[in-house]
Structure 1
Amino acid sequence: MTRLDQHSADRPVTPAPLDPATRKALQTLERSRPLGLARITGGFRGITGHVDPADGLALTAQGLARIDYGGRHPRLKITRAGRTALEKGAV
């Protein structure tokens, strides 16, 4: 059994395309930079929009977003990998 982060050197890893829900969530996070989206009961909300809790946690699991616990309320923020995936259109 191979780990997910290991791959054969002769086969390049091709990124999977972004699905519409992920793309929309990343665009919302990109517009909310640098503040991010605050954690609320129904997900993450900010001036620029709303991200469902399932989408937000999926983005953090993929490394496209992170949760910043530095302020008074936890905030969902886009990472450099998320901005790159949004520019390229692939994860």
Structure 2
Amino acid sequence: MIRALVAFLYIMWQPVLMVFACLILAALLSACATTSTIPPQLLSCAAQPPAPVSGTQRDVGLYIVDLAAAGDDCRTKINTIRGLQE
């Protein structure tokens, strides 16, 4: 009698347990497939300033400062993207 009851419960609950197991598996797999959207403003860097063709030392100094700022802009954006990907 108990054996028949256990067999009956197993047969009745097996589909329910199978659906539950599939839902858990789907939830776990979807967690692995997360994607992060990279904001468009991080996908372009500041333009390199044009080099002075002639001028004073002050012009060259300002060019170097602008060049460093453009490089820093790119490095900051790349590091931000790298942080989003981790």
So what's the TM-score if we normalise by structure 1? 0.25
- Structure number with bigger Rg: 2
Structure in which a larger fraction of residues adopt helix: 2
